[in-house]
């Protein structure tokens, strides 16, 4: 990060993303050194704006990019860039029009969310965990990626990410994570 993070760096002067290594996200877009890379600020703002997850939730975490647009949330220490198999967990897909959180991120941090959370009935929750799509006319909130949650022993518990469009909730639970419960 930079002494020479002078203002007025144009996109053309930026490095290309190297998909083989983990690079830490810059604090803000102005400090960016890699073309197209999201900033920490933008990621934290996204979780706050879309889901109401307080920015302080991530005070002890850093965010990293590996591959194109795959963002990881990590609580340990590491230099940037670093070539390694994994740093913490994948949390978000950027470099696409609609950013998309991961199922595992939503299960880990989604309890902090109070917006764009859709509560499912027991049979809907089971279908969702099995990867099935369902018509859900009752939702009158935003379209796009939502946190699907259900009641577990009296508390709401996030199950995963759903894509809500045209009255339908599509389960985004990855194949390997789907279960018949």
Partner 1 sequence: MEPLERYRPIVDDFEAFLAACERPLGNAVRVNAIKATVDRATAALEAEGVGYERADWNPRVLRLETDSPGSTWSSFHGFTHGQEEVSAVPATVLEPEPGERVWDSCAAPGGKATQLAALMDDRGTVVANDSNLGRISALRFNAERLGATSLAVTNDDARNYSLERFDFEEFDRSLVDAPCSCEGTIRKNPDALDGWSEGYLDEVSGIQKGILGRAVQATREGGTVVYSTCTFAPEENEAVVQHVLEAEDCRVVDFDLDLEHSPGLTEWDGDEYDSSLERAARIYPHQNDTGGFFVAKLEVTA
Task: Return residues touching partner 1 (CB under 8 A).
Answer: 60-61, 73-79, 82-90, 102, 104, 107-108, 129, 152-155, 157, 159, 176-177, 179-181
CA distances from 154 to 150, 157, 159 (A): 10, 9, 15
Residue 118 CB, shortest distance to partner 1, in Å, is 17
Residue 10 CB, shortest distance to partner 1, in Å, is 31
Residue 8 vs 89, nearer CB to partner 1:
89
Residue 6 vs 77, nearer CB to partner 1:
77
* Residues shown for the chain: 181
- 3 state DSSP class of 79: coil
Residue 65 CB, shortest distance to partner 1, in Å, is 16
Residue 72 vs 99, nearer CB to partner 1:
72
CA distance 63 to 54: 16
Residue 63 CB, shortest distance to partner 1, in Å, is 11
Strands 117-119 and 134-135: unpaired
Question: Which residues are bridge partners to 171 per DSSP?
Answer: 162
Residue 41 vs 104, nearer CB to partner 1:
104
CA distance 147 to 107: 9
């Amino acid at each position: 990060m930079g002494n020479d993070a002078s203002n007025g760096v144009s996109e053309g002067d930026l490095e290309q993303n190297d998909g083989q290594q983990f690079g830490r996200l810059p604090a803000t877009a102005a400090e960016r050194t890699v073309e197209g890379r999201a900033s920490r600020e933008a990621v934290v703002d996204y979780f706050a704006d879309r889901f109401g997850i307080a920015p302080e939730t991530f005070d002890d975490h850093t965010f990293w990019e590996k591959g194109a647009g795959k963002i990881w949330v990590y609580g340990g220490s590491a230099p940037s860039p670093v070539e390694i198999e994994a740093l913490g967990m994948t949390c978000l897909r950027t470099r696409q029009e609609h950013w998309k959180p991961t199922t595992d991120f939503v299960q880990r941090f989604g309890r902090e969310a109070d917006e764009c959370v859709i509560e499912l009935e027991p049979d809907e929750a089971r279908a969702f965990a099995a990867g099935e799509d369902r018509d859900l006319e009752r939702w009158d909130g935003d379209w796009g990626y939502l946190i699907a949650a259900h009641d577990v022993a009296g508390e709401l518990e996030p199950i995963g990410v759903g894509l809500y469009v045209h009255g339908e909730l599509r389960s985004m639970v990855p194949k390997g994570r789907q279960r018949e419960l």
